[in-house]
Chains A and B, each alone.
Chain A
């Protein structure tokens, strides 16, 4: 379509402000500051904190949850939520335990886990994306359903007897204090960073979360994107289940109870808008470190678990309220 009149309108810049300004003004940057403060506080509070082996152990606090949190971040950015992730862990772990009884070896166990996780995600995705049901209701339903199946299979029993090689995922080290999970966590973070920020799929996810109707009108296959996101979350839950089961060495039906809320907290703390539309993987990455360090630091100070949960709860409310309060104050000042 050449030959159009070229307009002599003043040249419009690509970007309004420099990249540096955007980085400094961002939530992620603020969160990074918080992370550093907590780190320094922990160093002051306990002499045991800086011990490399202690720190290495402490990463188990968040690596498994964070792997799911990255997928959850995409789901939440798309305007949906998946509360069934911890129950998917339970069902995946139970299926692996069952497979062990049948004499499956480690690679086959991994296969079982991924297939079951993906199937659970596909079930959620079918109900939400294809049937058009609200995800919060669907995944509260599957939260009960998936764990319910685990309880029926296991009762008050536990599966154990996992092969020796299976222990590698949750207990192995790649080099010195660097655990297998830490490496997995980093690789997953990197992959999700690429997916959300650098692919057209990630762009579609953001568009859907901002305005599903306009996204549909723009030719995005909205149901397909949402379906993929739920399957992806199921697969990430399966990978977390592999790590957790491998670390614990056994499966009980109560495995990972309550994780879904900690994962959602991690995502929201990372600056992902709970109403959808915006968020970054870097933010969730830092939020995972912050939550891990807070838990570890409070543990070193012998603060009981219930106080930690109060702290996490307050943190979540503050994090959600803060941007809204800032926004309102700005509007009031403006008007």
Chain B
């Protein structure tokens, strides 16, 4: 599998030690360490919310740690700005590359450090030549003068890598670089990673895909809930052990008990498909049931939910509620049929942050709170009061703008606004993402309470404890397909992660 790396590990190029990062009310990282070695790939593994992106932002100078040391070649440094991080040779290649679509390939490679003529103007000829050399070195056949927006995502990655080479980066961070790539492009990327290794770069590779971690990484580091839970050499660990480290923790006890009796089926979905995002999803949902949807980011779960809610249209398949087939053409249709959707992106899709709590809660219920088209403030306030109290919303007043509330309280407003429509089916997309523990518990308790009153709940979540703790049944999606379905009793964190990441594929290979 792997030739063991150098017998005694040399001193790391980059060393993070005792890094602590606090956000208001949340400790994102508590005393984590990370070591990156020249010419070696370190895989950073962890669930969503484990602190992976926080560490990337610290490394690229976007966040400042509250405590801890960062050393490059044994010298202590501060990465106070992104520019400073780049000067010290740290560069990041993101999932969706942050480059400039309207500039040429060469300009993208050299932006910020373009070669100049004596007059101080950009030396275009030199820049294009240098760009060509860099691109040839990594085996890319891209014209330096081409516009970036005309390239595919794989070629954009190549440009980002050329840029990393041009600033003579010593540390290259690759944040889920294969998430949007095809199979062939991924193979080409692996070759490149090996070239970067041969060039002596220290590489931090963030990925959810176990097959690629075991294929290209030399070391692993596992974060869980902002803490370092394990690291070591990749050839000394089994995939199952890595999964255990990643998810391993007790999930019992903290979640409300399940509903004893499920009601009649209310929602039936058959062969729901979309041209690009998902295909052939079928299930049936009963009153009082919480159906969990698990999968990796990009598995098509949100896209599928939005199709149920009428935001996108399916290309085929049927949807029926209480036995009546429906085809929602817009959210208003779906709401009229009793299906509501609490989106993942609170700020953009869920809440209107500039408007007050009462305005937000009343918005989808305007038809019921108004009288012949005229709003009735009294009934709006009554409605807002009723539902926000049930969710234990903490706010100064009901006319406070939602944007002033904490994330957890904003989410309560969004959930309240949907419950106020008295739906039959509620879809919650990552309902507790980025909110504090206390709000999480309140949301969980409330979800269970609603289910016990006969509401059918669909919950999309990427958090293993939440999905196992809350769901009566779990459906796993991978790459737009429904790949597994489990009763709650039959599921373990390991089986879920394996199904979502496609680990069978790895063990078969």
Contact = CB atoms under 8 A, between A and B. Distances in A.
Contacts of A277: 354
Contacts of A217: 309, 311, 331, 341, 343, 349-350
Q: Which one of B332, B358, B363 has the greatest number of beta carbons of chain A within 10 Å?
A: B363
A63 B367 CA distance: 34
B385 interface: yes
Interface stretch (B153-161, B394-402, B481-489): B394-402
Nearest to B340: A219
A215 B311 contact: no
Nearest to A223: B330
A46 interface: no
Contact of B370 (A9, A199, A211): A199
Nearest to B358: A14
Interface of B: 309, 311, 330-332, 334-335, 341, 343, 348-355, 358-359, 362-364, 366-367, 369-370, 373-375, 381, 385, 388-390, 392-400, 417, 421-422, 449-450, 453
Interface in A1-29: 1, 3-7, 9, 12-16
Interface string A181-221: 00000000000001000111111101100110111111111
A214 B349 contact: yes
B389 A9 contact: yes
Nearest to A13: B397
B440 to A, nearest CB: 17
Contact of B366 (A194, A204, A210): A204
7 contacts: A4-B453, A6-B389, A13-B398, A207-B359, A217-B343, A219-B363, A220-B363
Interface string A217-250: 1111100000000000000000000000000000
Nearest to B380: A203
Contacts of B398: 12-15
Contact of B367 (A16, A200, A206): A200
A9 B350 contact: no
A208 to B, nearest CB: 9
Given A16-B397, A198-B375, A207-B363, A214 B351 contact: yes
Nearest to A201: B373
A329 B43 CA distance: 45
A212 to B, nearest CB: 10
Given A16-B396, A16-B400, A199-B373, A216 B390 contact: no
B370 A200 contact: yes
Interface of A: 1, 3-7, 9, 12-16, 194, 198-204, 206-207, 210-211, 213-221, 277-278
A152 B398 CA distance: 57
A206 B355 contact: yes
A303 to B, nearest CB: 40
A39 B393 CA distance: 48
A199 B374 contact: yes
Which residue among A13, A211, A220 has the maximum number of chain B CB atoms within 10 Å of its CB?
A: A211
Contact of B332 (A9, A194, A219): A219
Contacts of B359: 203, 206-207
Nearest to A22: B399
Contacts of A1: 422, 450, 453
Nearest to B442: A7
Contact of B354 (A9, A12, A204, A278): A278
Contacts of A204: 366
Contact of A203 (B375, B400, B421): B375
A11 to B, nearest CB: 9
Nearest to B417: A218
B375 A211 contact: no
Given A1-B422, A12-B385, A210-B354, A221 B330 contact: yes
A9 B349 CA distance: 28
B309 to A, nearest CB: 8
A200 B349 contact: no
Contacts of B353: 210-211
When A and B form their complex, which 4 residue pairs have the shortest distance between CB atoms, in order from nearest? A200-B366, A16-B397, A219-B335, A219-B332
Contacts of A210: 352-355
